[in-house]
Structure 1
C-alpha cells in the first residue's frame, strides 16, 4: 500500500510558478511572436516606408525607419522575438543593411509554415522543404547577379541604400561622399569601415555634409592657452592619466605645520611636471590621451607649446595610430621618440557650435572622416544611420563585385523559378518549397503597400513582366512596373544572400522548438485576441499583441 502511494506521488522538477508550453501551443506562440515583430517594422521597408518614434523611460526620443535602430531601441520581452532581433543585429554587423528585410521575410516564412501545419503537414517535412528551397534560391540569386564595381554603380548602390531615409534632398551629394570615402580606405579589394569616421554636427543643411581627408576628433584643445595648430606634428598616444595617483579611500595625511602641507603640494606638482617633461623629452608636440589630464599638467603642456586632447575615445586612438604610425603607450616612462607618429597638419576648428580637431597629411592616408550636417539632432542622427547603411553596401560591393537589381525584382524572379523547381520535387516537400517561394513575394508586396499601391495588382503585373524580363520591378514613386536596371536601382548581392540565409535559419530555429519552459514572470499572461474564442488557447503575448513596449510608451502594435 505504501509503495502504491509512493508511485502516485507527483514529482516536481521545475520551480513553483514556472510556465511550460508544449507541442503545438509552444509553436503557435513562437510563430505569433515572429509574425507580430515582422508586422511591427514592416511599414518601414522601402523608399516610401514610414518612421517609428521610440521613447525610452528617460524621455529620450528616437525617430527612425532603420530596422536595426528600431529593434535595438524596443524593449522586447518575448524569447522568440528576441531571437529574430539577434538575427537582425547579425545582418547589420555582416553587411550593414537589410535588417528590416530579414525580419519581414522571417515573419512571412513563419506564417507560411503555420498554414502548412494547419493543413496537416508535419514540421519535419516543412523544414526539409525549406532547406531544399533555400539551396535553390541561393543558386537562383547567383544566376541573376551582375558583375559590377565601377564608381557609377557604387554611387547608384549608395543612393538606393539611402533612399527614403531622409537623404533625398541631397542624395547625389551624399552618394558621392560615401563612394569617395570607401575608395580612399579600400585596400586590395578589402574595406575596413572602422577607417571611416562619421561625425555629426547639429546645425546647417544636409547638403553641407562633406568628407575630410584625415581624422576628425570631436574634441578641441584641452586648454585654450595651447596652440591652435601644429605643423609637422610629432604625435604621442597615451593610455596613461597625467594626473595624481589616486590614494586609498582610507588614507589620511597629518600635517603639523603649513610648511609640511606646502611640501606635499609641491611634491604633487613636481610629479606632474616630471610627466610633462617625459613628453617634452620624447620630442612630441601633440598629445592624445585616453585618460584625464590634470589642470596643472595642462598648464605645463601649454607652456611647452604642446597641443593636447584628453579622454580621446579608443576608436579614435586606433584610427590615429593606424594613420600616423604612432604607438599607444601604457606607461609614460616608456614614451620615446620612436613611438611617436607624424602628421603634416593638426589644428582646431569650430563648426557651427562644436569644436573639432583635424589631423591631416598623415603618413598612411587610408583613413578619412565624414561630417554629417542636419538642422536638428534627430535629423542628423537619421542621416548618420543612412550613411552607415550606404557604407556597408558599397563596401560589400567592392569586396564581392556582385550586385542584383532592386525594386522587388530579385524576389519575384526567385519566386518564379522556385515554383518551377517545386514541380520537379515529389512528396509534401513540394508544398513547403512553394510556400517558401510565396514568402519571398512579401518584399515587393510590402514595397507596394507602403507606397499606397494595390499590392495584388502590382504582384500580378510583376509576375507577368518577369515572363520576359528578370529585371522588372516596382517603381514606388510612379507606381509603374519598369526595368529597374535602367532606373539604376541596384543592391549588393551579399545583402540579399545574407538576408535570405538569416531569415531561413531563424525560421528553422523557431520551428524546431516544441517545448518552452519559462521562469515565473518572464512571459506575460495570455490575452484574448481576434479570432480566438478561448483566451487560454492563445499563446501568451504582451498586451495588445505587442512585443513589449519601451518605457514611457505603450507596447507597439
Structure 2
C-alpha cells in the first residue's frame, strides 16, 4: 500500500502485510462464511451424518454437534472465525441449535452475494436484514406455545428432540426421562443452574444403563481400609481445610535438648488431631469430606470411631455436596456443630465401571444430582455426553421461559411466509434484503429434507402449501418425508433456540457484509501446499481456496482436519 507524495511513494504497510479491498474483500469473506456453513450442513436433523475430526496429536472426535466440529477444526480465516463465534454463543445461551445458527448465517451471506452483484449497497442489506430479524422474533413470539414447568411429558419431548440425530438417539426415551428429572430436581424459583447436574461418564455397559443419582458422586475413595464401606442415615460434615496439624507460617528452629521434650511435641500434635476427631464425633458426624489432607494419626482415630472420611475433594464437589445434603462447610474441624451437618440416606463406596467412587445418595430434596452416562466405547460415551448437554440446555431454557415452537422446519417456513408479506410494506431496496432474509431461513427445512434423502424442492412446496392453509405447526417428518403436525408428534424446541439463532446469525452476517477492506499483518494464504512450495492454495485473494490455513478450501479434504 503506497501513497504518492510528490515523486516519492509513501509506504504505509509493511512488506509482509496483505490487503484485500472492496468487492474482493467482500467476496473473500462471504466465501469463507459459506465454507464454514458447508462444513456442518450435512449434520443437521434426525438423519444428519457425523464428522470424524483428528487433531495433530492423533486424538479422534466423532460427532455431529455443530459447535464441537467448528471448535475442533483448525480454522484460521478471521471471517470464518466470526461464524464459529455464532455457534459458541448459541451453545452458551441455549445449548442446542448450533448447526442451524451457522447454516442460517452462511445462507444470509449467500443471498447477500447475489444482491451485492446487483449493485445493492451492503449498508442497505444490513438495514434490511436487521429489520427482518426484529420482525422474525415478533412472529415467533406469536406462534409460540406455552408450556408449564410441571408438564413432565412435554419436557421429555423437548429433551428427546434435542437428542434426535445424535449418538444417543436409540436410548432417547431413557435419557430424556433422566434429563428432565435431573433439571426438575435442581430447579429453584424457575431458575436452573446446570452446574448442579454433574455428568459422570463411565465406559462399559449400554447407553440404556445410564442412571440418575439424586445426590453426588465423588471420584475418590475412603482414606483408610479400616473405615466402614458405607454408612446409612449419614450425618455429613464438610471441612474446608485439612485434618492435619497446621504448619507454622514462619521458619522456626526449635532446639530439643531432652527426649521428653520431643515426646511432648508429638503428644501435643496427637492431642490436636484427637480434638478434631472428637469435635466431629461430638457433633454427630459419621461421614467427613475434607478438601485438604488427613494426617495418618487422624485417619486412625476416625477409623476407630467408625467415621468414613474422604480427603482432597475438589472445590466443585464440595459445593455440590453442600447443595445436596444441606451441610455448611466449616474451615476448622474443631468448630463443627450439629447444625453444620448435612443429611444423606446413604454414603457408600461402590465400584462403577472398574473405578471405586463414593456415592452420596437418597437425599431428600436434592438440589444437586449426578447423571451417570454409560456407553460401549469412549467415543460413544463422549457423543452421548454432548447430546445430554444440549438436552439439559433446552430443558433448562424451557423451564425458565415456558415457551416452545414446533420443530421439523415449521417455524422457518412460517417465518419465510410472513416475512415475504412484510417485505411488501418495506419501502426501497431494503425490501429486497427482507425477501432475501425470508429465502435464507428456508435453508433449514431444505437441508433437513436433503439430509434425510428426500427431494428438497417437493418438501418445500408441500410445507409452503400447508402453511398457506394456516397449519403453523406443519413440519417435515425426516423419516417418512411426509408433512405432519409437529406439535402433535411431540417434536418441539424452545422458543429461545430459534430467536437466539436468528439474532446471532443476523449480527454475524451483517458484520461480515460491512467489511470492505481486509488488512492482514501476515499472510492470509492457505499455508504450504508442498514442503518447499509456498503457493497459496488458490481461492480469492490467495486465501486457501475460500478459507485460510487450517481448512484449505474445505473441498481439499479440510486441511487441518482430515
Please report the TM-score for the alignment, with normalisation by the length of structure 1: 0.87
Partners of 1:355 and 1:548 in 2: CA distance: 47
For 2:167 and 2:543, locate their aligned partners in 1 and report how far apart those are by CA, in whole Å: 44
Q: How does 1:161-172 map to 2 (within 5 A)?
A: 161-172=162-173
* Cα distance per residue 1:390-447 (max 9 Å; x no partner): 1111121122111111101110110011111112212110111011111101111111
Structure 1 pair 326/536, CA: closer, same or farther in 2 (3 Å)? closer
Partner of 1:46: 45
What are the residue-to-residue correspondences of 1:34-433 with 2, within 5 Å?
Answer: 34-149=33-148, 150-241=151-242, 271=269, 274-275=272-273, 277-282=275-280, 283=283, 284-293=285-294, 297-330=298-331, 338-362=339-363, 364-433=365-434
Is 1:33 aligned to 2:38, yes or no?
Answer: no
| CA pair 537-496 structure 1, distance change in 2 beyond 3 A | closer
| Deviation (angstroms), 1:46 | 0.8
SS of 2:468 mapped into structure 1: coil
Distance (whole Å) between structure 1 residues aligned to residue 248 and residue 377 of structure 2: 44
Asked if structure 1 preserves the Cα contact closer than 8 Å seen for 2:525 and 2:542, the reply is no
Q: Which runs of 5+ in 1 are unaligned?
A: none
> Are the counterparts in 2 of residues 162 and 386 from structure 1 also a CA contact under 8 Å?
yes
Q: Tell me the residue number matched to 1:500.
A: 502
State the Cα distance separating 1:101 from its structure 2 match. 1.1
Three-state SS of the structure 2 residue aligned to 1:320 is helix
| Alpha-carbon distance, 1:79 to partner | 1.9
1:141 to partner: Cα distance: 0.8
Are 2:560 and 1:555 equivalent residues in the alignment? yes
Number of equivalent positions: 546
Corresponding residue for residue 22 of structure 1: 21
Partners of 1:374 and 1:154 in 2: how far apart? 24
Name the SS of the counterpart of 1:505 in structure 2: helix
Whether the aligned pair in 2 keeps the contact of 1:49 and 1:450 (CA below 8 Å) is yes
Greater Cα offset, 504-513 or 302-311: 302-311
SS at match of 1:403: strand
Between the aligned partners of 1:478 and 1:44, the Cα distance in structure 2 is 18
3-state DSSP class of the match of 1:44? coil
Q: Is the 8 A contact 1:346 1:358 kept in 2?
A: yes
Aligned equivalents of 1:49, 1:74: Cα separation in 2: 19
**Residues 506, 268 of structure 1: alpha-carbon distance in 2 compared, 3 angstrom cutoff:** farther
- Residue in structure 2 matched with residue 475 of structure 1 by the alignment: 477
| Aligned-pair CA distance for 1:157 | 1.0
- For 2:431 and 2:446, how far apart are their aligned partners in 1? 23
The alignment partner of 1:125 has SS state of helix
Relative distance call for 1:273 and 1:435 in structure 2 (3 A) is farther
Question: What secondary structure sits across from 1:62 in the alignment?
Answer: strand
TM-superposed deviation, 1:216: 2.2
User: Is residue 545 from structure 1 mapped to residue 545 from structure 2 by the alignment?
Assistant: no
**TM-superposed deviation, 1:336:** 5.4
Q: Contact (CA 8 Å) 2:291, 2:314: kept in 1 or not?
A: yes
Contact residue 185 and residue 192 of structure 1 kept, 8 A: yes
Q: Return 5+ residue gaps in structure 2 as ranges.
A: 528-534
Deviation at 1:166, TM superposition (A): 2.0
Shift, 1:67, TM fit: 1.6
Q: Is the 8 A contact 2:223 2:299 kept in 1?
A: yes
Aligned partners of 1:121, 1:268: CA distance in 2, in Å?
86
SS in 1 for 2:462: helix
Shift of the 491–242 alpha-carbon distance from structure 1 to 2, 3 Å rule, reads same
CA distance in 1, matches of 2:266, 2:16: 60
Displacement after TM superposition at 1:524 (Å):
4.0
Query: Residue 425 of structure 2 aligns to a residue in which SS?
Result: coil
Q: Retained in 2: the 8 A contact 1:109–1:436?
A: yes
Kept after mapping to 2: 8 A contact 1:322/1:364:
no
Query: Aligned ranges for residues 424-503 of structure 1 at < 5 Å?
Result: 424-468=425-469, 469-503=471-505
* Alignment check: 8 A CA contact 2:32 2:547 kept: no
SS of the residue corresponding to residue 61 of structure 2 reads strand
Tell me the residue number matched to 2:532: none
Q: Answer whether contact 2:135 2:419 (CA < 8 A) is retained.
A: yes
* Aligned-partner Cα distance in 2 for 1:357–1:271: 30
CA contact (8 A) 1:238 1:332 kept: yes
CA contact (8 A) 2:159 2:179 kept: yes
Contact 2:288/2:308 (<8 A) preserved: yes
What displacement does 1:310 show? Answer: 2.9
Question: Structure 1 residues 62-71 or 302-311, which shifts more?
Answer: 302-311
1:279 and 1:452, CA in 2 relative to 1: closer, same or farther beyond 3 A? farther
Q: What is the DSSP-based 3-state SS (H/G/I as helix, E as strand, rest coil) of the residue aligned with 2:367?
A: coil
Cα-to-partner distance string for 1:90-145 (whole Å, 9 max, x where unaligned): 21111111111111111111111122112111011000100110111111111211
**Alpha-carbon shift at residue 160 of structure 1 (Å):** 0.9
CA distance in 1, matches of 2:69, 2:391: 18
Question: C-alpha displacement at 1:155, in angstroms?
Answer: 1.4
Deviations 1:474-533 (A, max 9, x none): 111112222222222111111111111111112122222233333335764574557x7x
Q: Is the 8 A contact 1:201 1:352 kept in 2?
A: yes
Distance 1:518 1:173, change over 3 A: same
Partner SS for 1:356: strand
